[in-house]
Each structure stands twice: as structure tokens, then as C-alpha cells.
Amino acid sequence: MMDDHGRERNGSARRSTFRVAAMLVAWAQAPSISSFVAARAGADEPLSPFVAETPPLSPAEQQTRFHVPPGFRIELVASEPEIRKPINLNFDAAGRLLVTGSIEYPFPAKGPPRDDIRALVDRDGDGRFDDVQVIVSGLNIPVGIAAVPGGLVAYNIPSVFRCDWTADHGRPSDPILAYATFDSADTHGMPNGFTYWIDGWIYACHGEGNRSTVAGRDGRPLTMRGGQTFRMRPDGSRIEGHAIGQANPFGLCFDAWGDLYTADSHSRPATLILRGATYPGPDAPRDALGFGPPLMSHHHESTGIGGIAFCAADPFPEAYRDQLLVGNPVTGRINGDRLVRKGSTYVAVACDDFLSCDDPWFRPVDVRLGPDGAIYIADFYNRIITHSLVPLRHAMRDRERGRIWRVSFERPDAEPGPRRFDLRGAGIDVLVEAMGHANLVVRTLATHEVVDRVGSKAIPPLRSVVSNGGDEPWRRAHAVWALHRLNALDDRLVARLADDPRPEVRVHLVRSLGERADWTGDSANARKTVLAALGDADALVRRAAADALGRHPALDNVAPLLRHWEAVPAEDTMLDHTIRIALRNSLLDGRTLEETARAAPESQRRRLTEIALAIDSPFSADFLLERLVASDLSGERLAEWVEGIARRGGDAARTRVIAYALARRNETRETQAVLLRSLDRGLRTREPGLTRPLEDWAHALINELLDDSDDSSVYLGLELAWDLRWARASERIERLASSTTPIPSLRSFAIDSLAAVSGEQATAFLERIVEDVREDLDAREKAADALAKSTGPSGRAAMRRQLPAAPGRVATALARGLAHTPNGAPELLDAIEQGAASARLLLDPMVETELHAHAIPDLETRIERLRAHLPTLEERRFDEIAARRTGFDPAASDAKRGADVFSRHCAACHAMNADERRAGPALKGIGRRGVDRLIEDILDPHRNVDAAYRASVVTRTDGRTVVGLVTVDDGRYVTLVDPDGRETRIARFDVETIERRPVSPMPERFGELLPAGEFNDLLAYLLR
């Protein structure tokens, strides 16, 4: 639901699959109550605290703390004890507000579950809710909910269920299982945002941390890993994926044209989701087409977003109509984004906040447009936010309070009208009239009533609507969907609608044709209509046509798609990407690729190569090979092509691509390294791997590079040796990793490289560095980190031998290594109990996390006993901060000297001038934070981390990890900047996973690295 890295897991902790650099793992487990999320440096005001300092307010008091735009007003809809901890909201056709809520969250109930679904009902018809019913009880963290005619569909651990429910005063039927089983290991990433759309599907989000395989009655399983968008039939018959990616989507809505938007933490607050696209996220797979285009580049200064609504309702002033509103439980605001259209592409422009609240307990987690044209907000009202920097078991968590708010705009000249809303008993004439209503929610509910309740009797009046035209395009658009779902949208009506003068109608017609099961028999003319729509005057219709063609792949699609692709303006990235997806789907088996290319002009053949990279077929490899030998590629593009051919090609293709590479062995050493690395990746899973000529070439090139005196050449050699796991280079790498290295600046990388290429064989060398007190402490720590990657008995034995005498930083690295393995974890605990290692090691968060990943008897009791008399990590950090504060004397400090300290230690990542680009935030005006906050930020950088500047661990396909700040991730390349300011660019196809951590890439050892004098001078410089 909200951002929650570093969270406790339900049941046993999920195994950590990566090693994190020392700078990442000492984040605060329990920040002080005064900790704030740092706004990006240079902002004028801090964001809301993770833990509110103030006591809770009554609903009436809280209402006075809200700020809304002129003309809007906010009203309380419901509060405790009538409701408790609302999570998701939705309306049904009777105007009832359905609410899921949980007092169990974030941990599933161990005993009888106590959560429920409630309905807010207007009984006297005055347009206000005057009754709250518990309609389904005994639930375990229910989240997503959707109203369907005659009932509701909701999520409850671990499945989606349906209940029949029609009576105002009665209770629904017993839950009927619809879809199972969803993973609930991470309760803040469970199915949410249920939205029953006019196409007859319920759309929903699947969140971070969970791995689910679910099937409907048709038996077709859908497997979801982490963030994903999916859809399901209300009757449990079928579930299918819609798009892959995002970190933790929580909240979903549609606009009037049928585009789907989700809210998300970590990627972007809002994203327009294209069917079949892949979006950035920790579990997102590689997609050679690149990621779906972003909707926005800003973050709304938040690490957690909950709920999203599209303002398609008449009461709203023009400035607010068609805005996206997202809930921001971190900052206690509802953020607004204006959608600017460029062709078929939307770009979100941040607006002034739609709503803010001076009560830090305000936690908006869902935002919904109501049928009355008001915005409804689920307020999880809580002192804490379930967040990465607040432990899930925080003692101050509130489990009883919760509110729902209504924000409306009342036009001064508006005539009062009936506010009661109920379509359940409405006749077809009323429903058809409602299908043209200015409010999208009303139109959608009316469409469902027509299809699901009235049924085939509605066909004649619906035909009349689409045949007679008129001035209300939305009524015709919704009639199109109703006829489609009633199997009554015949060729005559399709032909008439294809010529409709309004693009709103044409776009929904084309979308409905895409939903047909196939385009044969009675639907044979559908492809002709959709192909013609590729040339529509409106770009949204063209994008809908490309999407529909992608759902009905055929060779006949390819030439028109290629032709129209060439005409797409550069700014229309969403149309461009949709056409790419359609072409990939139409050429998926690869057999027709070569035939298509032969008949296409050169400009289209170049475009086909971009599609071929996304097709896993030996035929696509053959096509790429022909293009490769006739081109002059270099760099990442060359790497992508060569690896793809080597991996997918048949024997003949592999032989030819190897010959092609060998023919280029006299080119630059950089190009040679690219070729060898790409061939190794492509051939690694195939026999016989690198051929003897390739091995000889690799050996000669690596030796040549490692023997060079140029730093960049040696670095390239180390990198290539690591990539190829070239053990034959161990002796040369040891020379570079020793204290007498000819290139000291590369010693750290050489130590890592040695561990990678030599494995257990490097143990003795690394142990010598760790135990040598004459060695630089950084080198000893780096060797300990490398040794910690060892999982064999000799490596563990070396770590145990070095623990007793190792200084703190080195001992911590060794302890993490032991704690990581099933055999090493109990050995570490035994060593601490026997006095062979310090109990302070148990204060390290990563050590504790790794220990809990193993089944160690009485682990909690043993850890508690060993830590009983130790100060906590927070206490130790507090003492360090207090000592630095006491020791700072502005009069004795020199800002001029501080500028030099800044240049040496900070300038690689930070600039003082906001106009200068650096990986980290610009620090102009940072002195306004004051000396106390500055000291805290320097000594404890993980306490307050802006979402835009969180560290990431990038795991490459060969298992190597790179840690730093991701500055570019465009679907083709990932660029990171490490704590020393060095930039690393990695091809996206070489990235296995990207895991964002709730910590800063900034080193946390400035207290050790900077003597008191230099530290004080730096403070003086920053405070100027």
C-alpha cells in the first residue's frame, strides 16, 4: 500500500539474494519522532514526518486543518467507530459507498480475523450517508473491492471472492471463491484498485514483493512477480495480464477515452499503462522494446503514493476537469497533475496541491470520484506511516481511527437538485440517458446496469442511440460497449460508427473491436475497420487501432503498421511504443520476418531490426545476422545484437557470428571486449560455450589490458576478466590487488575482481590483507567484503579466524558474510556467544536480517541475551551526533577551508549551484536547515532520504552487483553513480534485477573519515 522496503516479512524472512555494499546497510531501524522526510535539497519546506509528533485530533478538529482551493469544501463522510482504517473505496449502482478496512494490517491475523467490508448507505434520499452496514465480516486484510450488478468482488487474503448482494438491509451471500491463490507475504502489495470498466473486466494492481500464480475457471494460470496490472472477469471465469512492471502500484482509474492509469511508489506517482508494455520496477523483466513511456518525470516529493482518480465530472471548474489526483500519505496531500496531450501521448504537468492538511495523522490511501461529482478520500488516519524508515511493529501504530472525506465544488449559480443516486431499478430509458451523463462514474455504472441487468432487451434502444447520432458522443461511446458485450455490434453498425464525426466514439469502437475473441467468421471485417483506423485523423484512435492489431497478430498487420510507424511524430512516444508492441506480436514466431523485410524499403528494414531484437526465435537471429554483417555497429548496440544472435541462432548462425567477431579482433580493445563479452553471454548456456579461438583471443586481450600502464585499459581488463570469470588471469589480478599495486586507484576493483574470477582460490590472498595491520583500513574492509562473498568451507573458516582481531568495519563485513550462509549464520552466533566476536555485530541491521533468514534454534532469545547491555544503533548514532554538535564552534571554523573539504569529499555527487548537474541533489540553500539538521544529514544520511535519491542495487546477469544512484533507466540502458561519483552505464539486457533501498548512496562513515577540524570547516561552508 505504501512504501515499505526493509519491512518485516510474514512468516520466515525471504532470503536475501544480493550482497549490499557497506554504505547501504546501516540505515536507522527506528528514527526519532522528530525525523522528517527530507525534501529535495533547496526546497523551501520539509515534508510531513513519518511519525507524527502531535496527538490525534477529533474528526471535527481535523476538518479545520484542511486546505482546499477556492470554491471547494471538505466534509466528513464517516469516521471511527463507524469505520476503522479504510483502505479501498468504490461505489455501486445504488450510490452506496463500499469500504474495505483493516485493523490487522500490516500483519495477517494469527487468530480469528477481525476485518470487514462496510457499506455507507443514504436511506432518506437527502444525498448524505446516514447508515453504515457491516456487510462482510471475519476478513483478513481485505483490500481491493469492486461493485458489480447484483453483488461485489473483493480481495481477502489469499484470494478474490464474490458475494451476491441486492437488498439495502440484508447481508450479502456467503463469499464465493473467484480467483486463488495470491501471495500475501508482503501485505502492502496485495491486489488493490479494483475497477469494473465498461469492457466487462475488473482491472487491478498486483504489488511489490509478492509472487502469485492464479487461475480462473478456464484453468489458464497467470503468474505475477511484483508490480503488475491485471484484469479478471467478475464471474471468476478468466484472469489475464495487462502490463508488467512498476514497483508497488496502489490505485487504478480510467479516463473517459479508455486509457488506464495507476498510482505507484518508487517509479512515478502516476503512469498511463499501455497494454503489453513493460514498466520500470524491481521485478520487471528485460524488454528489448524498452520500457513503456513515462507519464511524468516528477515524484511529488514522496516515497509512497496511494489511490488515483480522474476528474471527469461536470461540477469541477475547467481548471480541475480532467486532472489526475493522487493520494500522498507521506506528505498528507492530494497532488494534482494536468494532462497535456501531444498526439496520443499524455504528459502530466504538476499543479498546485488539490488538498493539504496540517494534521500529520492525515494519511490518504485511496482517492475516488463519486457519482455525485465529489472526490472521496480514504484516510488511514495514523501516527505512523507504514514506511521503510518506520518499523512495522512500531509501538505507536494506531489501529482504530479512520476517516472518509468528501471534497466537492458547489457552483454559485447551480440549481439544487436531487442528490440521491440509485440506478438499480431504473428503466432502459433512464439508463440510456445516464450513459451520456457528464460524470464518468455515472456513465460506467449505467452501462453495467444495461448489460448485466437489462440484457438483450436493451439492444433496440442501444441500436437507436448509435444509429441516430446526436450531440452526446459519450452516450454513443458507451452504447458501443454495451452492444459489444451483448454480442449485438454487427457489421452495419460498425461501418456507421467508423465514420462517426466524433473521435470519442471512434476510439471506443476500435477498442471494442480489439476485445473480440477473434477476427474470423462474423468478425472478419473487424481487421479491415481497424487497419483503416490506423490512418484516422485523431492520434488516440490511431493508438487504439495499433493496440487492437497487437491483440490480433497477423502478417497482414505488418506492412500497414510499418508504414504508419514511419509517420509517427517523435513526441508521440505512446503511439510509437504501441506500434512496436503490435509489430512484435505480429512477428512473434520470426518466420515471416525475413519475408517481410525483403519486400520492405530500407527505412522499414532498419525499423524491423528494432523489433527483431524483441523476438526470441532463430529466425530473428538469422535476420539480425544479415543486418549485422552489412552494418558498422559499435558499443552497446553491437553488444545487444551479437548476444541476441549467439543466444537464439542455430548452429550456422552461431558459427557465422563467431567468424564475424574474430574478423574484428584487430579493432579497438574496447570493441574487442564488447564482442567477447557479448559472445560469452550468448553462448554461456549452450555447448560448447566459447570456442578455442575465442578463448585464445580473450586470454591475449585480458593479459594485454592488465599489463598496460593506463588506468582505463587496466580497468577494462579487470572488467572483462570478471565478466568472463577468467581464472587464468588470477596471478595478474593479485598483483593489482596487492599493497604494491602499480595502480592504487584500481586496487579496490582488483580485489573484487579477484574474488569473482578465483572464488575460493582467492581466500588465502584476501585473508592476508584482512589480517595485515599495516594495510590501509579501507583495503582491509574491501578484502573482507570480497571474502564475505565466499560460501565454501575455506572462506567461512577464514572469516571466523579473522573475526576476533578485526576492527569494527572489517568485523562487520565478515559478520555479514557469515550470516548470509546457512552454515555460517550459526557459526557467527556461536562465535559471539563464545567471546570470539563482539556482540555489537548484532546491532548491524544486515547481520540481523541475514540471521533471521535461517532456521536457528532460539534465535530471538539468544540475540536478546547477547544485546541486553548494548546501546542501540540509534543511541550510538545519537551520541556521535551530539558530540559533533557540542564540538562545533562557528568562530573557530573556516568556511574557506570547508570549501576544500567539500571539493574533496562531496563535489563528485553534489553541486552548490542548482544549475550544475550532479547525481545527487544540489545543495544551494542547504544552510537554511540549520546546524543540527546538517550534522544529522552528514552523519546519518539514511535517516531522511528523498525518493528521487534512494540507492539501488543493480544485479547483472552474471551475478555481479553495482550499487549507487540510478540516474537513467530508459529501458535500454541503466546508468548509476557510485558514492565516489563514478558513473557506470549498463545495457538493460545485462540487468537481472534492480532493487531500490530506502537508504542513501552517500557514505555513512564521514564521522570516521573527517577529523573534527575538517568536519567543522565543512559545516561552516554549508551554513554560509
DSSP secondary structure string, 722-735? HHHT-GGGHHHHHH
DSSP letter, residue 453: I
Angle at 238 (CA atoms; ends 615, 256), nearest 5 degrees: 80
The rounded distance, in Å, linking the Cα atoms of 453 and 446 is 10
Exposure letters 700-736 (e unless 16+ CB within 10 A, then b): ebbbebbebeeeebbbbbbbbbbbbebeebbebbbeb
Compute CA distances 681 → 405, 487, 689, 859, 860, whole Å. 55, 50, 9, 41, 43
Cell of 768: 592476508
Angle at 540 (CA atoms; ends 539, 545), nearest 5 degrees: 95
Q: Is the pLDDT of residue 85 over 70?
A: yes
* Domain that residue 664 falls in: 616-690
Exposure letters 351-374 (e unless 16+ CB within 10 A, then b): bebbbbbebbbbbbbbbbbbbbbb
Q: Is the pLDDT of residue 17 over 60?
A: no
Amino acid at 629: V
Amino acid at 291: F
* 646 falls within a domain: yes
Which of the pair, 437 or 919, is modelled with greater confidence? 437
Average pLDDT, rounded, for the chain: 87
Stretch 349-367: mean pLDDT: 97
The rounded distance, in Å, linking the Cα atoms of 356 and 364 is 10
Q: Per mean pLDDT, which range of 36-45, 140-149, 330-339, 370-379 is the poorest?
A: 36-45
Q: Per mean pLDDT, which range of 267-271, 812-816, 952-956 is the poorest?
A: 952-956
Handedness of CA 531, 534, 540, 543 (dihedral sign): positive
Cell of 554: 497477423
Rounded to 10°, the helix 824-833/808-820 angle is 140
Instruction: Of 765, 761, 835, 823, give the one whose Cα is nearest residue 796.
Output: 823
Q: How many CB atoms lie within 10 A of CB 856?
A: 16
For 379, phi then psi, to 5°, come to -105, 110
For 869-907, give the DSSP string: TSPPHHHHHHHHHHHHHHH--GGG--HHHHHHHHHHHTT
Confidence band for 13, pLDDT divided at 50, 70 and 90 = very low
Is residue 180 classed as helix, strand or coil in its secondary structure? Answer: strand
* 635 falls within a domain: yes
* 135 falls within a domain: no
Tell me what pLDDT residue 132 has.
93
Tell me what pLDDT residue 917 has.
54
Q: How many CB atoms lie within 10 A of CB 233?
A: 18
Domain count, the chain: 1
Confidence band for 974, pLDDT divided at 50, 70 and 90 = confident
Tell me what pLDDT residue 8 has.
30
The rounded distance, in Å, linking the Cα atoms of 90 and 98 is 5
Q: Please, what's the largest Cα pairwise distance for the chain?
A: 91
Q: Is the pLDDT of residue 206 over 60?
A: yes
Tell me what pLDDT residue 951 has.
73
**Structure confidence by residue, pLDDT tens digits, 565-579:** 999 999 999 999 999
* 213 falls within a domain: no
The beta-carbon contacts of 323-326 under 8 Å, at least 24 apart in sequence, are: 323/351, 323/354, 324/253, 324/261, 324/270, 324/348, 325/354, 325/367, 325/375, 326/251, 326/263, 326/269, 326/270, 326/300, 326/367
Helix ranges (H only) for 382-458 are 428-434, 440-448
The rounded distance, in Å, linking the Cα atoms of 898 and 1018 is 4
Stretch 658-684: mean pLDDT: 95
Compute CA distances 785 → 763, 764, 866, whole Å. 12, 14, 25
The rounded distance, in Å, linking the Cα atoms of 196 and 145 is 10
User: What burial class does residue 476 get, using C-beta atoms within 10 Å of its C-beta: 0-12 exposed, 13-18 middle, 19+ buried?
Assistant: buried
> At 813, which helix (H) or strand (E)?
helix 808-820
* 643 falls within a domain: yes
* 199 falls within a domain: no
Tell me what pLDDT residue 949 has.
64
Amino acid at 798: A
Which of the pair, 988 or 764, is modelled with greater confidence? 764
**Structure confidence by residue, pLDDT tens digits, 221-261:** 999 988 999 999 999 999 999 999 998 899 999 999 999 99
Angle at 324 (CA atoms; ends 321, 325), nearest 5 degrees: 105
**Structure confidence by residue, pLDDT tens digits, 394-434:** 778 899 999 999 999 987 766 655 567 899 999 999 999 99
* 678 falls within a domain: yes
**Among residues of the chain, what percentage have pLDDT more than 70?**
89
Rounded to 10°, the helix 473-485/459-468 angle is 140
* 41 falls within a domain: no
Q: What are the beta bridge partners of residue 248? A: 265
Stretch 158-182: mean pLDDT: 87
CB 269 within 8 A of CB 302: yes
Stretch 905-912: mean pLDDT: 80
The rounded distance, in Å, linking the Cα atoms of 576 and 399 is 47
Residues contacting 607, CB < 8 A, separation 6+: 562, 565, 566
Half-sphere exposure at residue 329, Cβ-oriented, CA atoms within 13 angstroms: 33
Confidence band for 41, pLDDT divided at 50, 70 and 90 = very low
